Chain A
Amino acid sequence: MSAALGWAGVTLGFAASVAGLVTLATGLIRRRPALLRLAPVYALMILGGALLATAAMQLALHTNDFSIRYVAENHSRATPLLFTISTMWAALEGSIILWALVLAGYVVAAVHRFRRRREDPLVGWATLVLFAVCAFFFGLMVGPANPFVQVAGAVPADGPGPNPLLQNHVLMAFHPPTLYLGYVGFTVPFAFAVAALVTGRLGEGWLAITRRWTVFAWGFLTVGIILGAWWSYEVLGWGGYWGWDPVENASLLPWLTGTAYLHSVMVQERRGMLRVWNLSLVLATFSLTILGTYLTRSGILDSVHSFTESDIGVWLLAFFGATVALTIGLIAWRGDRLRSPGRVDSPVSREGAFLANNVLFAAFAFVVLLGTVFPLLVEALQGDRISVGRPYFDRMTTPLGLALLFLMAVAPALPWRKASGELLRTRLQWPAWAGGAALVVAVALGARGVAPLLAFGLGGFAAAAAIRQLAVAATAARRAGLPRWRAAVGRANGGMIVHLGVVLLAVGLAASGSYAHSTELRLEPGQSATFAGHSFTYQGMETVELDRKRRITARVEVDGRQVYEPALNQFFFARQAIGTPSVRTGFTHDVYLTLISAPPEPDDPAVIGVIIQPMVTWIWVGGGLMALGTALALLPGGRRRPAEPVRAPARGTAGPPPDPVADDDPVEARA
């Protein structure tokens, strides 16, 4: 029953995507607006197919329909409700349903948003590209990664359930959907970038149209990555949150190019420059989400997160190759229209800072990509097995991160076009002293090491610069007779709040990466020990037999107050025990407890791992602030009169390009 429903949904989605693609292509090439008006019909059919497939999979999971192979391999009767829902994205085939569902949602939203411009070729081509991407993902489900395939042979009575790591924490229900909302969201700006290239309308119209979509996707990608780090920290039990694992890197890559794009797009809006570069960043961001999916789902890279693999790798690689070839071809074809009319007057200017930001983000992305795929390249060329991991990534990305912090401190104070020394001295003086003060305080508190100290100093500088911008905006709002909260709304102000979040995150990364202390305590029941100023008393253990696992919990009293319960879970079908750490969260540091080895008898000593992790909380708070800032940046800000006609028409087009932006998405707050 659910298999039939699922098949129907997947087939409907695929058929509607292909039919929509053909219809729009005919409408665009033969110039028949009537066909373009049919887009919402196909979009709704695609969404219907995705919803049907999702409902079928959920139905199969909740009714324990083990005749479906995906359910038989990833579900068990004993899985609790929340993890039964999240089993849909616990393995490859199901996660493609989620991908298709999110994509279909974005397609319907985009078609609805641009409903008044359906006959506009730009919107038509963008919708066509969206349908093409839908066709690919539904095609995967119809063909090589069908989630509704039946089991071979007899239907099993029960299954093993999802990977134990994936049913240990509630974040598993939220991290993947959030991440997918980010990943998939970049499809919309990608579609408009391709449409701009095809139609030759390469002015700033497509940028303005997709600005909010990009910010929205970026915000979800940010939150998704941070939720993933938080999940690692709370579940994996080694006291860290980021392992430079290929899957983590794959999510960071589009984030890096997307962040670069969010900044460089302002240069094009303001000065009409960097057209090729902005197109390349959007196209690269989308391509990198596909490449990341390929790298982590094809099994060619080992990753702790790749919970299943299959032979869809070749399809993803082909899609990635086709995307890259198509986009490079389009840029080359439109090369004559992409010459920028603008110029940068001085490197010491807002646009100069954005350019430097882009070089640094591009280098950052290059380091992450190279480090991730380099072992493959060496093995292919030389046959040697080499590893590239944390030491490499830390050493290469620290200087880039510090340079980005410095830019974050200086750039908000820089005016467009050209800055005078006098202006910079005035604007940067107090932020710079705040940075110096942060540095001195850190040294006085005993922090050592050049890199973390620079992170604290530059972090203070950048935070003060962002606060200064917000204060300036608040003064401006008051003068204009507007309420004070206006100073926190809009792209520029929301962006400054995102910057504050980034500073908290950077300080947390630097502190926890540099000053963690750990020890292993071997304690008899009732025995106490002291480490790093905290006392730990082992009170004893208890064993609980659940129907699928044995849970051994140690009770550890910290500082004579609260009892924490690190545990080991022995799942009966898994060889390896899975630890559940217990964390005392604090403003200055976390106390992270793990049960390293369980005592064989209740009266034997237990080995308790203690990790003192400084300022990890700042990372999560910083992530929250980044999400808040992103939401504020999406709200309409204070409207500013365009200062001067700085946007010039593209060369090679007669007259100003017909970009009817104003009726749909007014360009606002161009600061």
Chain B
Amino acid sequence: MSWRRWAPWALLAVVVAGALAVGASDGGAEARGVDDRVRALAGEVACPTCRGQSVLESDAPTATAIKAEIRRRVEAGESDDDIRAYLVTRFGPGVLLTPESGGLTGLVWVLPVVGLVLGLAGLAWAFQRWRPEEAPPVDAVDRALVERARHRGGEQRSSGGTGP
């Protein structure tokens, strides 16, 4: 009767998958309004004259100018990638707060993934190592001993687990 036990979970899986399928599409970057696109792009651009702030966070004159330029280009119908490419040609690759995925810089993306995979692999290896030892063989004498103990002490079962 295992299907009856799993039925609620299967139903839940269907519900979750359905809700995610409906909700997965956010219409893409270009479907948003001008102001929201400017805001999102400004958050990806380092303010060249500030200290560790993005253009979005800064009120410095340079940041204000870059925000105005982003807004002008968004309103002119350029795509987000075009605007990013423009900013890179104008200020150099360091202007984008998203590090490149190639070359030495790509390591910043790769190293954490490698670290996480190694960590999980290490954990899996540790679980392998910790696998319980083979249960010692049980012979008739042991069974008789258990039977006798059970009859003598009555059926004292532990409820098992810590929950209700």
Binding site for B on A (CB under 8 A): 236-238, 240, 243, 245-246, 301-304, 306, 343-347, 352, 355-356, 359, 362-363, 366-367, 370-371, 374, 378, 381-382, 384-392, 396, 413, 415-416, 422-423, 425-427, 429, 432-433, 436, 439-440, 442-443, 447-450, 453-454, 457, 472, 475, 516-520, 576-579, 671
Q: What's the Cα separation between A442 and B39 when bound, in Å?
A: 24
Q: What's the Cα separation between A374 and B20 when bound, in Å?
A: 35
Query: By the criterion CB–CB under 8 Å, are B111 and A388 in contact?
Result: no
Chain B 99-140, CB within 8 Å of chain A: the 1/0 string?
110001101110110011001100110110010100000000
- How many B residues have CB within 8 A of the partner chain? 61
Binding site for A on B (CB under 8 A): 5, 8-9, 12, 15-16, 19-20, 22-27, 33, 35-36, 39, 43-44, 46, 50-54, 56-60, 92-100, 104-105, 107-109, 111-112, 115-116, 119-120, 123-124, 126-127, 130, 132, 161-164
Q: What's the Cα separation between A382 and B103 when bound, in Å?
A: 11
* 29 CB-based A-B contacts, threshold 8 Å: A243-B54, A245-B52, A304-B51, A304-B52, A304-B57, A355-B126, A356-B123, A359-B123, A363-B112, A378-B105, A384-B105, A387-B95, A389-B46, A389-B54, A392-B108, A416-B162, A422-B5, A425-B5, A429-B9, A433-B12, A439-B19, A440-B15, A448-B26, A457-B16, A516-B36, A518-B35, A520-B35, A576-B59, A576-B60
Q: What's the Cα separation between A367 and B27 when bound, in Å?
A: 29
Partner of A370, one of B26, B51, B59, B108: B108
With A362-B119, A443-B19, A579-B59 as given contacts, are A671 and B25 in contact (CB-CB < 8 Å)? no
Q: Which residues of A contact B57 (CB under 8 A)?
A: 236, 238, 240, 243, 304
Query: By the criterion CB–CB under 8 Å, are A303 and B51 in contact?
Result: yes
Q: Which residues of B contact A382 (CB under 8 A)?
A: 104
Partner of B12, one of A301, A355, A374, A432: A432
Q: What's the Cα separation between A371 and B107 when bound, in Å?
A: 10
Q: Which residues of B contact A381 (CB under 8 A)?
A: 104
Q: A302-B52, A304-B53, A427-B163 are in contact. List 18 more A-B contacts (CB 8 A).
A: A302-B50, A302-B51, A343-B132, A344-B126, A345-B132, A347-B124, A363-B115, A366-B112, A374-B99, A386-B105, A388-B99, A388-B108, A432-B9, A443-B22, A448-B24, A472-B164, A520-B35, A579-B59
Q: What's the Cα separation between A429 and B4 when bound, in Å?
A: 13
Q: What's the Cα separation between A454 and B50 when bound, in Å?
A: 35
With A237-B59, A304-B53, A381-B104 as given contacts, are A443 and B161 in contact (CB-CB < 8 Å)? no
Query: By the criterion CB–CB under 8 Å, are B96 and A238 in contact?
Result: no
With A378-B105, A449-B24, A577-B59 as given contacts, are A387 and B97 in contact (CB-CB < 8 Å)? yes
Query: By the criterion CB–CB under 8 Å, are B43 and A355 in contact?
Result: no
Q: What's the Cα separation between A616 and B132 when bound, in Å?
A: 48
Q: In angstroms, how far is the closest chain A Cβ from the Cβ of B87?
A: 12
Partner of B36, one of A378, A387, A517: A517
Q: What's the Cα separation between A449 and B116 when bound, in Å?
A: 25
Partner of B127, one of A344, A416, A433: A344
Q: Which residues of B contact A240 (CB under 8 A)?
A: 56-57
Q: Which residues of A contact B60 (CB under 8 A)?
A: 576
Q: In angstroms, how far is the closest chain A Cβ from the Cβ of B132?
A: 6
Q: Which residues of B contact A519 (CB under 8 A)?
A: 33, 35
Q: What's the Cα separation between A356 and B20 when bound, in Å?
A: 26
With A370-B108, A415-B161 as given contacts, are A385 and B92 in contact (CB-CB < 8 Å)? yes
Q: What's the Cα separation between A262 and B24 when bound, in Å?
A: 35
Query: By the criterion CB–CB under 8 Å, are A301 and B104 in contact?
Result: no
Query: By the criterion CB–CB under 8 Å, are A439 and B16 in contact?
Result: yes
Q: Which residues of B contact A457 (CB under 8 A)?
A: 16, 19
Q: What's the Cα separation between A433 and B163 when bound, in Å?
A: 19
Q: Which residues of A contact B98 (CB under 8 A)?
A: 389, 391-392
Q: Which residues of A contact B107 (CB under 8 A)?
A: 374
Which residue from chain A places its CB closest to the CB of B38 in the assembled complex? A518
With A236-B57, A387-B46, A577-B59 as given contacts, are A303 and B52 in contact (CB-CB < 8 Å)? yes
Q: What's the Cα separation between A211 and B55 when bound, in Å?
A: 43
Query: By the criterion CB–CB under 8 Å, are A366 and B115 in contact?
Result: yes
Q: Which residues of B contact A304 (CB under 8 A)?
A: 50-53, 57
Most buried by B among A237, A343, A520: A343
Q: Which residues of B contact A578 (CB under 8 A)?
A: 59
With A236-B57, A304-B52, A388-B108 as given contacts, are A425 and B163 in contact (CB-CB < 8 Å)? no
Q: Which residues of A contact B43 (CB under 8 A)?
A: 390-391
Q: What's the Cα separation between A447 and B119 when bound, in Å?
A: 34
Query: By the criterion CB–CB under 8 Å, are A448 and B23 in contact?
Result: yes
Q: In angstroms, how far is the closest chain A Cβ from the Cβ of B102?
A: 12
Q: What's the Cα separation between A413 and B163 when bound, in Å?
A: 8
Q: In angstroms, how far is the closest chain B Cβ from the Cβ of A447?
A: 6
Q: What's the Cα separation between A235 and B27 when bound, in Å?
A: 33
With A344-B130, A415-B163 as given contacts, are A363 and B97 in contact (CB-CB < 8 Å)? no
Q: In angstroms, how far is the closest chain B Cβ from the Cβ of A367?
A: 5
Query: By the criterion CB–CB under 8 Å, are B53 and A245 in contact?
Result: yes
Q: Which residues of A contact B127 (CB under 8 A)?
A: 344, 346-347, 352
> Shortest 6 CB-CB distances between A and B: which pairs?
A389-B97, A302-B51, A385-B94, A391-B98, A343-B130, A302-B52
Which residue from chain B places its CB closest to the CB of A299 in the assembled complex? B51
